[in-house]
Copies of this chain bind each other. A is one copy, B any other.
């Protein structure tokens, strides 16, 4: 992902919060960041905005996150933790050998759902991302597991399973991104979800 310069920075939370109170503060700050980033974009958001939204002082914010990037990193890590589980569920379905329509529908529903929750934040991860390589690699690994599951699933079904698997994931992610972020006027998102499923199914079955 990303591309373009990535300054070398500390991204780790500065101190691992120990007490319950401070763990709560970390949570509040992170949620505030999520909301303000989502609403205003990464560059447009100031750390003061986030602190204000969180109802803490700017000093407290920096107590837990050494810089602005670290907030995004924290958010991305939270995101990663969230998708880890549901990705695993998908992998299981594929490995269980559900019919293609089910496999496709599940994958599409899953990724559209992921984007619907916070489309702008998602965009920020992908586009504005001052994310450290390690995290991008983590994400790639996660996605890779799903891709490999699809590859296994497709081995007996299409001629070029690796390529088709990659296409499927690219398409779903990319369309989910676009359709949630810029919903066209003439169809609603559910229709697009269905259409995406249809298209992929045709692709797989033509395979």
- Chain A residues within CB distance 8 Å of chain B: 1, 3-5, 39-41, 43-44, 120, 123, 127-128, 160, 162-164, 166-167, 170-171, 174-175, 177-179, 181-182, 184, 186-187, 191-192, 195-196, 198-203, 205-206
Contact = CB atoms under 8 A, between A and B. Distances in A.
A174 B167 CA distance: 12
13 contacts: A3-B181, A4-B41, A5-B40, A43-B43, A127-B127, A166-B186, A167-B192, A170-B179, A174-B177, A198-B206, A199-B199, A201-B206, A202-B206
A187 B166 contact: yes
A111 to B, nearest CB: 13
Contact of A187 (B123, B163, B184, B203): B163
A201 to B, nearest CB: 8
Given A3-B120, A4-B41, A174-B175, A167 B181 contact: no
Contacts of A39: 4
B174 A191 contact: no
B199 A167 contact: yes
Nearest to A123: B127
Nearest to A140: B184
Given A163-B187, A171-B174, A198-B206, 14 more contacts: A3-B123, A3-B181, A4-B39, A4-B41, A4-B44, A163-B195, A166-B184, A167-B195, A171-B171, A174-B174, A199-B200, A202-B202, A202-B203, A202-B205
